[in-house]
Amino acid sequence: MKALTATQFQFPGQKSFYKGKVRDVYNINDELLVMVVSDRISAFDVVLPKGIPYKGQVLNQLAQHFLSATADIVPNWMIASPDPNVTIGKLCDPFKVEMVIRGYLAGHAAREYAAGKRVLCGVPLPEGLKENDKLPHPIITPTTKASEGHDEDISREEIIARGIVSEADYVQLEKYTHAVYQRGVEMAKEKGLILVDTKYEFGKRDGQICLIDEIHTPDSSRYFYADGYEERQAKGETQKQLSKEFVRQWLIAGGFQGKDGQEIPFMDDAFVSSVTERYIELFEKVSGKKFERGDTTNIEHRVEKNILDFLSKR
């Protein structure tokens, strides 16, 4: 199994190239965005030293699955997927916030709550909650979209006051966020899962708000198994989950949380392989589809050829 960890393509009409933590993004003639989903993996806003084979394919194909399933709620950027690791879509002007929505007290929110915070991104939280408890209702806890380093929690009021997003647009983003999350909750329930929390990114093209990037993938979302959830909560046990949280927990156990001076634990082949299998398990569980492993023999060449073939036909 070979991992796709970097691309450096030059396409006809290419205007710019952006390398994110996981995605390599090519701007074609200020009209199309070619998004190559690599096998890089990040945690605590740090890209880990080894790629995870098939992780990019899992993320890309899950995102396609859910973008198609929510297109009746909100327009999205996707046009086509000419390769298992690639989505090509409309170039949009992105909003500089990520819309994080939480139905349960988990992950970052649980850590903040345990530290004594009772207001998260301007949203008050009730007393007496335990980690992984269901919240009285889903809450939106946005973050600023940092070009480098850590994204930062921010309140609705501050986003509007600072002019990051206009009030009219932000109200619409909130409506879309709640509606897409509800669809995700319903789809997860059908598969015996709980969509705990997730995040969405939006952009604008020709005055229209569009959903961009990935949605409801293990990199952007947290899932619990519904079976046994109540019993585990009652006993104070750890929830069985499908998400990237197990990678974060492995790093924490190895003394790494992305802070200065900390070293990333050694990622041996057995660990890398186990992460691949967890991602594939999540794909099959969440989508209800069988995962078809792409040919990774010469994955860079495969990806480049499929993109060029698509662009040549437009």
Print the SS3 string covering 50-104: CCCCCHHHHHHHHHHHHHHHCCCCCCECEEEEEECCEEEEECCEECCEEEEEEEE
Contact 282, 242 (CB under 8 A): yes
Q: Would you kindly state where each structural domain of the chain is located, as residue ranges?
A: 14-93+244-312, 95-242
Does 14-93+244-312 match 95-242 in CATH topology?
Answer: no
Predicted structure pTM score: 0.90
Architecture (CATH level 2) of domain 14-93+244-312: 2-Layer Sandwich (3.30)
Strand partners, 14: 28
Pick the CATH number of 95-242 from 3.30.470.20, 1.10.10.60, 1.20.1090.10, 3.40.800.10: 3.30.470.20
Instruction: Determine the 3-state secondary structure of 25 from DSSP.
Output: strand
Per-residue pLDDT of the chain (314 residues; tens, 9 = 90+): 899 999 999 999 999 999 999 999 999 999 999 999 999 999 988 999 999 999 999 999 999 999 999 999 999 999 999 999 999 999 999 999 999 999 999 999 999 999 999 999 999 999 999 999 999 999 999 999 766 556 789 999 999 999 999 999 999 999 999 999 999 999 999 999 999 999 999 999 999 999 998 999 988 899 999 999 999 999 999 998 887 878 988 999 999 999 999 999 999 999 999 999 989 988 999 999 999 999 999 999 999 999 999 999 98
